[in-house]
Structure 1
Amino acid sequence: MSSPAERFELVTRRLHYLNAHDEYRMGLLLASKEDPRVAWAHIGYFVPLLKLVDFARAGFDVIVYYGDVYAFLIHYIHSKEVVGHRTAHYRFLVAAILDALGLPSSRFRHMQESSIANKAEWFVDFQKMSAVMNQNDARATMDEAMVSKMLSPMLSPIQQTLSGQYLDLDIRLGGTHQRDLFIHAETFLPKIGYRKRLHPTTPLIEGLDGTKISSFKANDTKIMFLNGPRTVERKILGATCRDGEVKNNVVLSLIQHVLIPVSELWKDRSAMEELRDVEYELDVGSADRRSFVTADAPVEAVFSVDMGVNSGSKHFRSYGELEGGFRNQEISSYALEAAAIAALNRLLIPIREAYQNNAEWQKIEKLAYN
């Protein structure tokens, strides 16, 4: 178990809060409870799963929460059967992602919303919360509820808010785009007699077109976990990345929020062995879990960029160093893109192979998306 200071550092790094007081509340929680409970309900992305790893290292009871009822309310054009297939697909996917990172899926608890949301007491609380809200309270939580003419998206914030109570969470982790939804939870849970939860948020990586990423947007605007190497290359080369420009640079964002955190995780072998409870293996079949650095990199480096023929590689100890080098045009956009492509493909290879070797997953994926 990490020391109190180490736990606080693990839990709070790369997080934002709804208000300044929440960081203090986080410290109180860590001081008063040995194994607080945290869940993430916006699955399928490296950023939140990497953050859940930090919570696991800090001794939290970590839940990966599959919001199948919420998904049905938001994606109302799809049948419940299709949503069920998509939930099954995500279960396979999350297990493959964790395995690619070198972590056993069993290290986390996996819960499906429908296992708790169809109980009588949940429905009673659903009615109570509906009675203290107006329509604008629902619309303010997310774009889907704001623009849709259908009723079901307006019900979905209640589903999200009640999950904090019925999972008995201390922390509900989410993305920065869910800020309004979390304000809803902090407002309305106390109104029906329940305590507030902490709602820290992780950064949301922009789409490859430089705009907000969304499940509703075209696949060409985001890297998909099952994309092949050439598709990853094409998408990265088409992303927003101009020499010397760091603002709205999608490739830099991927390196900052995904690749360097993965590299740091793999670099810390003691942390990996603690999470796995076994000796950690760096290279198992296609799962090459070595940091994204070249063989000649100094020990403190976390990311290397090949500068081209006869130019060697530049090595960086932090994202800040890399961003500074790019801003000063010590690294070209082409070299940065090439490094990102190589690292992303190395990370995705075992996920793609897990899919290719699993006939049941392939069948589920076709039922879910074809």
Structure 2
Amino acid sequence: MATSNLTWEEKQELITRNLQETLGTDKLISILKENRDLKIYWGTATTGKPHVAYFVPMSKIADFLRAGCEVTILFADLHAYLDNMKAPWTLLDFRTQYYEAVIKSMLRSIGVPIEKLKFVKGTDYQLSKEYTLDVYKLTSVVTQHDAKKAGAEVVKQVEHPLLSGLLYPGLQALDEEYLKVDAQFGGVDQRKIFTFSEKYLPQLGYEKRIHFMSPMVPGLAGGKMSSSEEDSKIDLLDSAANVKKKLKKAFCEPGNIVDNGLLSFVKHVLFSLFKENEGFTVTRKPENGGDITYNSYEEMEASFAKEQLHPGDFKLAVEGYINRLLDPIRKEFTSPELVALTDKAYPPPAKVNKNAPKQEAPVDDGPHRLDIRVGKIVEVAMHPDADSLYVEKIDLGESEPRTVVSGLAKFVPLEDMQNRNVAVLCNLKPAKMRGVESKGMVLCTSNEDHTIVEPLVIPDGCKPGDRIYVEGNEGTPDEQLNPKKKVWEKLQADLKTNSNGEATWKGCFLLTPSVEKLTSKLSNCSIK
């Protein structure tokens, strides 16, 4: 359908379809009736790796372009750092380059002509004199309460928030003015920032913008799809084998059309990208009804709700469509340049050289000094002289398993410890516990009265010996922590789980080599 032949009503339908909410509909209609191209921007903070749910905004951007809109994609590199330093300053440039490469690749994979798009990096204008002055002006009218409330759904919430998190909503509001757009597009989780913008931009003499909000696509395991939760999302560079593995584990209850990430993905991405007369085809055995094609999402959803479409057949069909989207991206990212860029943007933690000469411990007490590794318990038994202790043999990727004594016998059943992956602090000085030498500590959380104790949960895909590090604090750990200087005790005081049960040190996440978070069933608890 040619853009020039569309009526304003048809353009409005394209622009607003599959959105959860639009703020400023009257202004949108007014601009479309003027036959003026609507100027829209979508921003993304360059933090964790983009995943398959990014096809939701990409498919909407395709709709905007079909409706003749001028679209700007903002790589919000400065926002990424200010959001509790989710992206270390030294990695910002590489992550911005990675985002640009991967998003361009995504758009090409769904047939969006990227020459019609404008790409802007936040730091290209957010450090200017004029923008900085407007930031100061905002701080003179915005209350702390409003700033905190606006960022509640987007900015990482920690026990002791940094001032940068309070600035974040104001900067996003100012982006609308400095990008000279009519509208901003984002997820419904951005709603509080959008209403913040509508309230405060006019106080600086700037006009109120239109805001488009897409629904949040549930993750594969239920809840929000997140780049930090391996089981909740499919990475854009995941192999076909990994896609199959993750989809097999995906939550897809028969007849459940409410909390179903796969159905949401098919609705908001696949059906919006299908060409005219192209439907969603499910391949089935003849005894299961044979192949069937759904020409509308509503038809498919009704079939699933009535349990006429089995989750197994549905997952297999989704797998094929997802691989069709990812194949061009995977191919592009096999180039040496993009492989090198990926490694620079998301570097693996430094490996410990066991044969290196012993060095003096760093002067500072950063968490990089802790040698925390993934371990697999290959053998566990009761301590011969203590009914509250387990004696474990833990594979830490070394030549032989280590012996570790843990006080978990009254909290975790013996059979639940066997073959379990745990986080082990490996560079404590070995200590004898009731006659058995322990060469490490299994890191756990406990409730306030110490009646519940839980080992930290290791994300799937980790292997024994993988180094656990604190976000933004990469470095070489001490060979052995000096007990006289209380290094562990000082650092442990800031090891906690947040309100989501995610393991943190001073609000920065504990991460695996694949940049996935360690978690616990217990929230707001100390880690020890």
Task: Tell me, yes or no, whether TM beats 0.5.
Answer: yes
Q: Deviations over 1:255-296 (max 9, x none)?
A: 111222222xxx14xxxxxxxxxxxxxxxxxxxxxxxxxxxx
The residue aligned with 1:207 is 219
Task: Give the Å deviation of 1:252.
Answer: 1.0
| Structure ranking higher on relative contact order (CA contacts 8 Å, 6+ apart) | 1
Q: Deviations over 1:177-213 (max 9, x none)?
A: 1111101111110111110000111122111121123
Higher strand share: 2
Letter in 1 for 2:210: L
Q: Provide the rounded CA distance (Å) in 1 between the counterparts of 2:312 and 2:20.
A: 32
Q: 2:7 aligns with which of 3, 11, 14?
A: 3
Task: Give the Å deviation of 1:57.
Answer: 1.4
Greater mean deviation of Cα atoms: 328-337 or 360-369: 360-369
Q: 2:243 aligns with which of 209, 217, 232?
A: 232
**Aligned-residue RMSD, C-alpha:** 1.7
Q: Provide the rounded CA distance (Å) in 2 between the counterparts of 1:364 and 1:137.
A: 38
The answer on whether the counterparts of 1:18 and 1:179 sit within 8 Å (CA) in structure 2 is no
TM-score normalised over the length of structure 2: 0.61
The residue aligned with 1:297 is none
Structure 1 residue ranges without an equivalent (≥5): 269-299
Task: Give the Å deviation of 1:214.
Answer: 3.3
Q: 1:351 aligns with which of 329, 332, 337?
A: 329
Corresponding position: 1:95 with 2:104: yes
Letter in 1 for 2:344: L
Task: Give the Å deviation of 1:142.
Answer: 2.6
Q: 1:129 aligns with which of 138, 142, 148?
A: 138
The answer on whether the counterparts of 1:173 and 1:199 sit within 8 Å (CA) in structure 2 is yes
Task: Give the Å deviation of 1:78.
Answer: 3.8
The answer on whether the counterparts of 1:17 and 1:23 sit within 8 Å (CA) in structure 2 is no
The residue aligned with 2:315 is 337
Greater mean deviation of Cα atoms: 143-152 or 47-56: 143-152
Structure 2 residue ranges without an equivalent (≥5): 348-528
Task: Give the Å deviation of 1:219.
Answer: 2.6
Letter in 2 for 1:242: E
Task: Give the Å deviation of 1:220.
Answer: 2.6
The residue aligned with 2:128 is 119
For 1:289-308, list aligned pairs within 5 A: 300-308=277-285
Q: Provide the rounded CA distance (Å) in 1 between the counterparts of 2:150 and 2:35.
A: 30
Question: Equivalent residue of 1:304, what SS?
Answer: strand
Task: Give the Å deviation of 1:64.
Answer: 1.0
Q: Deviations over 1:78-125 (max 9, x none)?
A: 432212211110000011111111223212111111111111000010
Corresponding position: 1:262 with 2:239: no
Task: Give the Å deviation of 1:32.
Answer: 2.3
Corresponding position: 1:186 with 2:204: no
The answer on whether the counterparts of 2:80 and 2:86 sit within 8 Å (CA) in structure 1 is no
The residue aligned with 2:431 is none
The residue aligned with 1:315 is 293
Instruction: Find the structure with the greater CA-based Rg.
Output: 2
Corresponding position: 1:363 with 2:340: yes
The answer on whether the counterparts of 2:219 and 2:225 sit within 8 Å (CA) in structure 1 is yes
For 1:21-60, list aligned pairs within 5 A: 22-42=24-44, 44=50, 45-60=54-69
Instruction: Rate the CA distance shift 1:52–1:93 in 2: closer, same or farther, 3 A.
Output: same
Q: Provide the rounded CA distance (Å) in 2 between the counterparts of 1:85 and 1:353.
A: 20
Letter in 1 for 2:241: R
Higher helix share: 1
Instruction: Rate the CA distance shift 1:214–1:131 in 2: closer, same or farther, 3 A.
Output: farther
Task: Give the Å deviation of 1:48.
Answer: 0.9
Q: 1:327 aligns with which of 289, 305, 312?
A: 305
Number of residue pairs matched by the alignment: 332
